[in-house]
Amino acid sequence: MFLLIGVTLIGVVVVGRGNDIFAVFIGAIFMLASLAGLLRPKACFDLHEGLFYPKGEQHSGIPLSSLTKVQLELEGGSGEHGPHYYLRVIDAEGKRCDVLNDGILKGIREDGQRLAEMLGVPYEEIDL
């Protein structure tokens, strides 16, 4: 979304042959923000190596065989921006690792169920 806004702002100036340096500057900021989001570490399941890499953490990987369940939890209630759901995996020691978060229950619920099926572990929902 940020990339689209940035390209649009810059495009309007270039196509309109305007001299609005402010629009170009703001467009560049939106484009950089989108690229920063793309470069941010994401959770990763390496099925070939049998490892899970939690998002945002420098980690050598958690063996998939040590994951015991997939958990979907509502945190923060409905709040100003609506509900916020967290999808997590739980390891044998009870450590919870975030996989993703979202505000749309239907999509994150389907993702959680598919992930639990892929890992061969139970799926549970908390506080929904």
Same domain, 49 and 95: yes
Order of strands, sheet of 96-102, starting from the edge strand that comes earlier in the sequence: 96-102, 84-91, 67-75, 123-126
Task: Assess whether 75 and 117 both reside in one domain.
Answer: yes
- Determine contact, residues 86/104, Cβ cutoff 8 Å: no
Residues 76 and 103 in one domain: yes
pTM over 0.85: no
| Rounded Cα–Cα distance for residues 73 and 70 (Å) | 10
pLDDT digits (tens, 9 = 90+) for 46-90: 888 899 888 756 667 889 999 999 999 987 666 566 778 899 999
The per-residue pLDDT for 20 is 63
Determine the distance from the C-alpha atom of residue 110 to the mean position of all C-alpha atoms in its chain, rounded to a whole number: 15
Average model confidence (pLDDT) across the chain: 76
- Do 112 and 57 fall within a single domain? yes
Residue 70 belongs to a domain with what CATH number? Answer: 3.30.720
Regarding whether 69 and 27 lie in a shared domain, the answer is no
Find all residues with CB under 8 Å of 97, minimum gap 6, and list them: 43, 52, 54, 62, 88, 89, 90, 91
Q: Supply the range of the domain harboring residue 104.
A: 44-126
Q: What is the pLDDT of residue 124?
A: 95
Please tell me whether residues 30 and 79 are part of one structural domain: no
Is residue 88 packed enough to be buried (19+ CB in 10 Å), middle (13-18) or exposed (0-12)? buried
75 and 115 together in one domain: yes
If one counts the domains in the chain, the total is 2
Rounded CA-CA distance 22/9 in Å is 10
Q: CA 76 to CA 65: how far, in whole Å?
A: 31
